[in-house]
Amino acid sequence: MSSLSLLPDAIVAGLCTGSVYGLVALGYNITYNATGVFNLAQGDLVMVGLMLTWVAVSIFKLPYLVAFLGVVVIVSLISLVEERFVVRPFLVRREANIGWFISTLGFSIMIEAIALIWFGNHPIVPIPSFLPASGFSILGTLFVPRELLVLGALIVLSVGFEFFFKRTRLGLTMQATAEDRQAAGLRGVNPIRVGQIGFLLGGLIAGVAGFVVAPLVSTSISVGLSYSVKGFVALAIGGFGNLRAGVIAALLLGVAESVFTLFVGADYEIAVGLVILLVVLGLKPTGVSRSFAARQV
Amino acid sequence: MKIKYLRTSSVVALACVALVATACSSSKSSAGGNGIPSGPIKIGAIYSLSGSFAAFGPSQRATGQAAIDQINADGGISGHQVALDVKDDKSTPDGAVSAAQALVSDKVSMFAYFGTSPQTLQAGPVLNKAGIPAITLLTDATFEDGTKWPYIYNDYSDAKQGVYPYAPFLQSKGVTKVVSINDTTPGSATFSGYANAAVKAAGIDVVKSVSFDPTAVDLTTQVQQLKAAGTDWLLANNVVGFGPLYNALRATGWHPNILETTAAYYDSSGALGNFAPTTWAGCNVGVAPGKSLPANVTKVLAAATAKLGHMQPDLLVSVASAYDALLIYKYAVEKAGSTSGKDVVKVLDTIKNQSFSNPDWTFTFTPDNHLGWVASNNHICTVTPLDKYGTPTIVDAK
């Protein structure tokens, strides 16, 4: 079997890997669109969702639907705590408005440290799934249900949030608040409430991502940082704040890595995303889609 | 007046000499030789208790303390109790240097462990310069040259020795060709190089090798490449990502015989399922069918497991290296009658085909070669099931 004949399989595998990056990028964009903050703990919130899935399914033996709801609720609440104690103190002070960069990074490190204390001393164990492990073939190309679930989750969430931000009053209000908190406040919008909703939704996405990714990666607490990095690269390629572009960039990043691994090898796979990012930023510094709006004064 | 002054001075000087001599002699105990200071013998250990390698530290600390307790229960070293002085390298190179310097300041007599690779590379030179013997598990060969590193000794298998049983095992199964997979971490890439070279040297063809990024969630493309190579023997030379590997094997419907690295015990062995009967790993140490470990080794295993609060797969590796390090040091100190680094290493360099905790684990050190573990100690084991202390079963026992 030649490498070329495996190209369709590599593309499908890359789409599934890219879906994981896409869910992280989507989470970044949701909080960014609501608050103007890049939540650098987004990848670690996915890791929390993953570990909670293991606790719910393997330890407490909860039904999958109950486990799913529990994981999403808990991760969303953790994200809300982050908004209250890690992000909001910086958003309300105009003179220190990028302090969140360090504080969200600190929150991410704190999450990893706690996960290490709780789970780090245990062997990595598999996390069961309600979907079968075996794949199926269509026209000679392999599809794996557990991985298609990640792609499906990404499509549903991106379409849903695209609609939310473009067609609902709350979504438009959130974007306006991110652009200018003071102006939004003067027009009767509560920017604190908007920030809470943004982080709640970011946590919801991380919870969903953790649940669907869990059976693919086992109880590995080291995935948080790599997901944060890959999601951020996708976001930078697509352009900050554009949900659709971020998701498409993530999928392309996954495919590019997979195809590179097939034809060249995995040794320099990590460089693929960074090379694409450099090329894109060299040609268009704001990313493929984003154009900075001039602020009216 | 002058004579009286000189006489008084002489008396004072003599008194000082006598006091110094008394002080010096009182700092030496008669318990086991005049080179062993009174009080407990301090043993230093640097573990990664925080940071990226923190997953390893707690089990190593539990094992180290259990081994110390066992040595004390058996009478200590030359009648002296032994105390463990632990520092955290925070999984960073500068943390490793700080921890090593702190233990040198604490005047430890020996290092039983000095960090998880790559921190060992930073801590090693500090303690070697201090002239404090270190007997420990080291997976790379950096410190094995005794002429360059006279105070550092490796009492466990290095990565190159780990592949020793691979070719004989595969030959015993009639294997003529294999495929291999590794992840792109340095440890896995290095091990894969050793493993593939060893089986090729034995006339077994490695028909296809692929690799994967440690963060990959989908390995189906790599596994399809391997499956297409037309052999049913897979060398899994990866040290992470066993879960995604088993997922990909199931997704592609391929059920090869698998020979894995020791990391397989720690990573997703619970996902083996129906692969278990045809999966083996380079375990280095295990228990042969029908045999049992010596009572003292079992006691240390049990104590370490109790300290951890759960069964840790392949914990015997930590026990083998930590307990033997202390027993080797005990032997050297008691033979030298001294804890002085120079005296101890003189004895260590004479150890030849000697066993300490287990008659099956033999050691040979020379002034040139400080890799004391003998490659023929290494074995292939089943990955599951494990016994109640996480010890695997040897399948290639002679």
Cβ of A116 and B218 within 8 Å? no
Question: Dihedral sign, CA of B270, B274, B277, B283?
Answer: negative
Q: What is the dihedral of CA B293, B294, B296, B300, to 10 degrees?
A: -10
pLDDT at A157: 97
Residues of A with Cβ-Cβ distance to B212 under 8 angstroms: 261, 266
Question: What ipTM did this prediction achieve?
Answer: 0.89
Return the closest-CA partner of residue B82 out of B45, B57, B49: B45
State phi, psi for B224 to the nearest 5 degrees: -65, -40
Q: Dihedral of the CA atoms A149, A152, A157, A160 (nearest 10)?
A: -150
Question: Is the Cβ pair A116, B213 closer than 8 Å?
Answer: no
d(Cα A41, Cα A23) in Å, to the nearest integer? 13
* Chain A residues within 8 A of B189 when measuring between CB atoms: 267
Give the pLDDT confidence score for residue B30 in this predicted structure: 39
Say which DSSP state A86 is in.
Answer: I
Q: Which residue, among A29, A71, A69, has the nearest Cα to A48 in the 3D structure?
A: A71
Q: Among candidates B77, B75, B99, which has minimal Cα distance to B86?
A: B99
Read off the DSSP letter of residue A131.
S
Q: Which amino acid is at B337?
A: G
Residues 236-275, chain A, touching B (beta carbon < 8 A): 257-258, 261-262, 265-267, 269-270
pLDDT, average across residues B166-184: 97
The verdict on pTM exceeding 0.90 is no
pLDDT tens per residue, range B194-217: 999 999 999 999 999 999 998 889
Q: Hey, are the CB atoms on B246 and A213 less than 8 Å from each other?
A: no
Contact B215 A266 (CB under 8 A): no
Cis peptide before A8 (omega within 30 of 0): no
Contact B215 A124 (CB under 8 A): no
Partner B contacted by A181 (CB < 8 A): no
pLDDT at B34: 59
Residue B250 with chain A: CB contacts under 8 Å: 133-134
* pLDDT tens for the 297 residues of chain A, in order: 678 899 999 999 999 999 999 999 999 999 998 888 889 999 999 999 999 999 999 999 999 999 999 999 999 999 999 999 999 988 877 665 678 889 999 999 999 888 888 887 778 899 999 999 999 999 999 999 999 999 999 999 999 999 999 999 999 988 888 777 778 888 888 888 989 999 999 999 999 999 999 999 988 888 888 898 999 999 999 888 889 999 999 999 999 999 999 999 998 888 898 999 999 888 888 777 754 444 443
Q: Of the candidates A120, A218, A223, which has its C-beta nearest B215's C-beta?
A: A223
Closest CB to A121 among B222, B271, B308? B308
CB distance A133–B59 less than 8 Å?
Answer: no
Q: A162 and A243 in contact (C-beta within 8 Å)?
A: yes
Q: In this complex, which of A120, A150, A227 lies closest to B55 when CB atoms are compared? A: A120
Q: How would residue B55 be classed by pLDDT, with cut points 50, 70 and 90?
A: confident
Residue B296: both structure tokens together:
């003292």
- How many Cβ pairs closer than 8 A exist between chain A and B? 126
Q: Which residue of B has its CA nearest to A118?
A: B55
